């Protein structure tokens, strides 16, 4: 309780592994489903809910969905919760935002499992019509969901604190490049009238905010919770003695060299980070202490129904692929330049205990819908389960050093294999698959690594092993901070060796990316030739999307590498389409783009019959 009541002028440096989330109040009984209608909430809580979660995803009671995870965690921490899912934001009366009236403590706007802009637009900026997180798969969420929802709630309830969080707010906490408007936008707290922003995985911070408010501290005085950002007026900031790393102010930070420098400063900074804006100053407290194993076990074992709310009749497509999946850990030390997981979940791995995962699997296997297959046992990278560094508890992960290849990193793959084998023994479980990515560069190149690869490929993939080299050209993989061609090629050969003499072979499915900063058409041709040579043709190519806050996005916007200051080639516009098409050389629809790519790359020799059976045909294939 001491931390709960800490002075709002001192930063509460919670020690690791303090189970503060669940010690301040007794837990409330967990309902079958979180209430999404007023009658349900009244019956359950008999009063206005303490906290109302507002989400653009339809509510699915599964731990992979942030509304369910946060909602059940808050109930466990002693607070009554209700969910407004997919409110009608076009209705100016705001009726659906008022379903439960005023919460006792605050509204929490958590738009969804994925970034709403990435969910709503293709990389080529075409509006999608479908939304896997919505009943019937229909897109209903507004662009910039957090800003729209927060403004509506503020208009209806100007005196109720609003806390924003989730991927959208978290990755836009400072001025950021916005691909969809091709401009630098101010930090989201300057646009959304919220009291606090929770960044990263938010359970610890949101529970601490609730505990403070329940003990009588007004939300706008809570300025020392780790994992949160708040705003100050410009005048207050000038008079304050707050100390921290200052980022270049918005809009000056829109200048490309300043943006690149700001990104580096942000990435290197420890402690408080401050960014002045014209009408406000955004202050970020240091990140929340990661959950302990006991805390992870506790929240992932809450009684999730693993179904959509029965009041929602149309199917929510995102549920089926993950209904029988298990999250084993959080965090990723891969540090791929284009990925924001490290900014969200952190670099340090926190693994759940084997006992907890087994209990979850047993519970799942008893569900009437369970058909014997657990579709995924994993996390951001499945084979980081159990990985550990003695430094993590005391000092956190090293900032500017990679854990991959570091002698201090303790491998967790033996734990992972033992766990998979125990899950396999549970009655009614026939298959235990891994569909999360596997970091092939983490598999040791020795007999132990070979045994690991053999077990995983023979018993825990459904015919296709998904790996993410992303590219094969070293100058591109360098920009992506991924291992280069030599490492992938050695892995591919080991995998292929395992297939020798097998009647039923398995296949490698590479995840690939086009148009990443630093990638030229020549690099895509090199990648296409590699795939063709090794019979790995795939049309699953991701066109690089500059999502906020990543290193790759900073390179995309500025044309500079923030760490070296060197110029970086950035493919844009029509070239993005060509780069993607080059890998789809078998698709007649892409013929003209492929030819134009080959000509630009100076590879006329690959068109037509100049190289028999090696190029693309001289004329478009018939289907065209």
What residue ranges bind ligand SF4 (CB under 6 A)? 389, 391, 397-398, 401, 403, 406, 408-409
Residues 6+ away with beta carbon under 8 Å from 257: 558, 560
Q: Identify the helix (H) or strand (E) that includes residue 432.
A: strand 431-432
Question: CA 472, CA 539: separation in Å to the nearest integer?
Answer: 16
Residues 6+ away with beta carbon under 8 Å from 425: none
At closest approach, how far in Å is the CB of 204 from ligand SF4? 21
First and final C-alpha spacing in the chain: 70
113 or 409: whose CB is closer to ligand SF4?
A: 409
At closest approach, how far in Å is the CB of 389 from ligand SF4? 3
At closest approach, how far in Å is the CB of 266 from ligand SF4? 20
At closest approach, how far in Å is the CB of 403 from ligand SF4? 3
Residues 6+ away with beta carbon under 8 Å from 567: 559, 560, 561
Backbone angles phi, psi at 564, to 5 degrees: -110, -20
197 or 350: whose CB is closer to ligand SF4?
A: 350
24 or 403: whose CB is closer to ligand SF4?
A: 403
At closest approach, how far in Å is the CB of 406 from ligand SF4? 3
CA angle 438, 443, 444 (to 5 degrees): 175
At closest approach, how far in Å is the CB of 537 from ligand SF4? 37
391 or 576: whose CB is closer to ligand SF4?
A: 391
Query: Residue 151, Cβ neighbours under 10 Å: how many?
Result: 17
336 or 403: whose CB is closer to ligand SF4?
A: 403
- Kind of pairing between the strands at 373-374 and 307-308: unpaired
CA distances from 406 to 388, 398, 401 (A): 11, 11, 9
At closest approach, how far in Å is the CB of 410 from ligand SF4? 8
257 or 405: whose CB is closer to ligand SF4?
A: 405
Decide: residue 334, CB within 10 A, 0-12 exposed, 13-18 middle, 19+ buried.
buried
390 or 463: whose CB is closer to ligand SF4?
A: 390
311 or 406: whose CB is closer to ligand SF4?
A: 406
- Kind of pairing between the strands at 307-308 and 60-61: antiparallel
At closest approach, how far in Å is the CB of 388 from ligand SF4? 9
Number of residues that this document lists for the chain: 624
Please report the sign of the dihedral spanned by the C-alpha atoms of residue 20, residue 26, residue 32, residue 36.
negative
As given in the structure block, the two tokens for residue 526 are 């090199």
Closest alpha carbon to 295 in 203, 188, 208: 203
């Amino acid at each position: 309780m001491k931390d709960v009541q800490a002075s709002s002028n001192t930063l509460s440096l919670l020690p690791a592994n303090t189970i503060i989330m669940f010690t301040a109040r007794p837990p409330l009984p967990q309902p079958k489903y979180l209430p999404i209608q007023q009658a349900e909430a009244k019956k359950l809580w008999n009063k206005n809910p303490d906290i109302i979660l507002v989400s653009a995803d339809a509510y699915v009671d599964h731990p992979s969905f942030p509304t369910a995870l946060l909602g059940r965690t808050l109930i466990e921490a002693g607070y009554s919760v209700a969910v407004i899912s997919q409110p009608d934001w076009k209705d100016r009366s705001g009726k659906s935002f008022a379903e439960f009236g005023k919460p006792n403590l605050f509204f929490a706007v958590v738009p969804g499992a994925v970034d709403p802009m990435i969910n709503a637009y293709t990389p080529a900026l075409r509006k999608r019509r479908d939304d896997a997180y919505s009943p019937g798969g229909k897109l209903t969420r507004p662009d910039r969901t957090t800003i729209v929802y927060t403004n509506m709630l503020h208009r209806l309830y100007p005196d109720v604190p609003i806390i924003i969080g989730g991927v959208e707010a978290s990755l836009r906490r400072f001025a950021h490049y916005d691909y969809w408007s091709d401009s630098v936008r101010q930090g989201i707290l300057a646009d959304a009238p919220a009291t606090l922003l929770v960044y990263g995985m938010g359970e610890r911070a949101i529970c601490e905010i609730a505990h403070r408010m329940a003990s009588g501290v007004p939300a706008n005085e809570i300025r020392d919770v780790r994992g949160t950002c708040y705003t100050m007026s410009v005048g207050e900031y000038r008079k304050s003695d707050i100390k921290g790393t200052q980022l270049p102010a918005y809009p000056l930070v829109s200048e490309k060299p300043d943006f690149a420098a700001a990104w580096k400063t942000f990435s290197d900074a420890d402690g408080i980070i401050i960014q002045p804006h014209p009408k406000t100053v955004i202050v970020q407290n240091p990140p929340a202490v990661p959950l302990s194993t006991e805390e992870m076990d506790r929240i992932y074992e809450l009684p999730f129904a693993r179904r959509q709310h029965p009041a929602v009749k149309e199917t929510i497509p995102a549920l089926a692929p993950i209904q029988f999946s298990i999250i084993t850990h959080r965090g990723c030390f891969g540090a791929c330049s284009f990925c924001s997981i490290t900014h969200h979940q952190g670099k340090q791995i926190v693994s759940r205990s084997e006992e907890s995962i087994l209990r979850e699997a047993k519970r799942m296997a008893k569900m009437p819908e369970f058909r014997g297959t657990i579709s995924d046992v994993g996390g951001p990278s499945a084979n980081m389960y159990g990985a550990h560094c003695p430094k993590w508890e005391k000092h956190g992960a090293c900032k500017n050093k990679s854990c991959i290849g570091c002698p201090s990193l303790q491998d967790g793959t033996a734990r992972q294999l033992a766990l998979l084998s125990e899950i396999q023994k549970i009655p009614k479980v026939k298959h235990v698959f891994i569909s999360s990515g596997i970091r092939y560069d983490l598999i040791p190149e020795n007999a132990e690594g070979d045994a690991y690869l053999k077990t995983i490929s023979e018993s825990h993939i459904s015919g296709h092993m998904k790996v993410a080299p992303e590219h094969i050209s070293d100058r591109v993989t360098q920009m992506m901070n991924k291992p280069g061609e030599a490492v992938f090629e050695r892995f591919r050969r080991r995998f292929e060796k395992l297939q020798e003499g097998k009647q039923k072979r398995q296949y490698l499915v590479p995840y690939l990316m086009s148009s990443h900063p630093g990638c030229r058409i020549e690099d895509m041709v090199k990648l296409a030739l590699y795939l063709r040579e090794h019979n790995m043709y795939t049309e699953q190519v991701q066109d690089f999307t500059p999502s906020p806050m990543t290193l790759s996005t900073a390179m995309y916007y500025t044309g500079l590498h923030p760490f070296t200051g060197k110029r970086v080639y950035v493919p844009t516009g029509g070239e993005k389409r060509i780069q993607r098409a080059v890998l789809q050389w078998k698709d007649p629809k892409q013929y003209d783009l492929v030819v134009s790519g080959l000509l630009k790359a100076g590879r006329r020799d690959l068109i037509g019959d100049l190289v028999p059976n090696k190029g693309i045909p001289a004329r478009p294939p018939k289907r065209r």
